Amino acid sequence: MCGIAGVYYFTQPDMSHAASVIDKMLDNLHHRGPDAKNKVIISTSKGDCGLLGHTRLAVRDLDARANQPFNTGKLSLVYNGEIYNEDKLKGKYALSDLITTSDTEIVAKLLDKNDVKTVTNEFDGMFAFAAYHQTKEKLFLARDRFSQKPLYYYLDEQKLVFASELRALIASELFEVNL
């Protein structure tokens, strides 16, 4: 189990405030991944920008190279889940230049080269992720068909906020909660 969180502004925000927002969200996800906590800034040529954050529970590949956000050079990924058919996908897409034994890298490499719908339709597993493709300047969010891995979000005209848990989303304090 890991935790993912992010905020993406459609206008230029105060990035120091945005960083403190992500830190609060990740603090609320610490129990999902106490082994590592990282964030990355994402931005477009249009001025949109934000941050992706991740808390890691290191289970399979304990090497720090498998920490997230995972970057391929063109894509930044925060991911929670497990892909059961990773060996089949490695063979089908000839993924031999991997630097980790983590399925996170496989997800990132596939998303880097293919569209999200094609890739997620091939996944056999449970997952939730956010991926920012720098060349396409697009942020993608996805989760498995049965929602085994949670992904909560809030969207308005100025921003998109998402997290693995509702309490982390609320901790952003970027919207009013009406119970």
Q: Would you list the domain boundaries of the chain? A: 3-171
Rounded Cα distance between 128 and 57, Å, is 15
**Least-confidence region, from 22-26, 63-67, 104-108:** 63-67
Taking 80 as the threshold, does the pLDDT of residue 63 lie above it? no
Q: What letter represents residue 74's amino acid?
A: K
pTM of the full structure: 0.92
What integer pLDDT is reported at residue 157 of this predicted model?
94
Rounded Cα distance between 128 and 113, Å, is 19
Residue 66 is classified by DSSP as G
Please check whether residue 79 is in contact with residue 68, taking contact to mean a CB–CB distance below 8 angstroms. yes
Per the listing, tokens 């249009």 go with 46
What integer pLDDT is reported at residue 35 of this predicted model?
86
Taking 90 as the threshold, does the pLDDT of residue 27 lie above it? yes
Residue range 51-65: average pLDDT?
83
| CATH 3.60.20.10 correct for 3-171 | yes
Rounded Cα distance between 71 and 159, Å, is 23
Cα–Cα distance list, 123 to 68, 100, 106, 118 (Å): 20, 19, 11, 9
What integer pLDDT is reported at residue 15 of this predicted model?
86
**2, 7, 66, 83: which one is catalytic?**
2
Residue 15: both structure tokens together: 């990035």
- Can you say whether the dihedral through the CA atoms of 110, 113, 116, 119 is positive or negative? negative
Residue range 39-61: average pLDDT?
89
What integer pLDDT is reported at residue 97 of this predicted model?
86
Query: pLDDT exceeding 90 applies to what percent of the chain?
Result: 66
Taking 90 as the threshold, does the pLDDT of residue 88 lie above it? yes
Q: How confident is the model at residue 84 (pLDDT cuts 50, 70, 90)?
A: very high
Identify the top-confidence range among 4-13, 38-47, 165-174: 165-174
Q: What are the DSSP E strand ranges found in the chain?
A: 3-9, 36-43, 49-56, 70-71, 75-83, 125-133, 138-143, 152-155, 159-163
Taking 80 as the threshold, does the pLDDT of residue 172 lie above it? yes
Cα–Cα distance list, 149 to 82, 90, 121, 136, 159 (Å): 10, 23, 16, 26, 23
What integer pLDDT is reported at residue 101 of this predicted model?
85
Q: Number of C-alpha atoms within 13 angstroms, CB side, residue 126?
A: 9
Told to judge if 2 belongs to the known catalytic residues of this protein, a careful annotator would answer yes
Tell me the pLDDT of the chain averaged across its residues.
Answer: 91
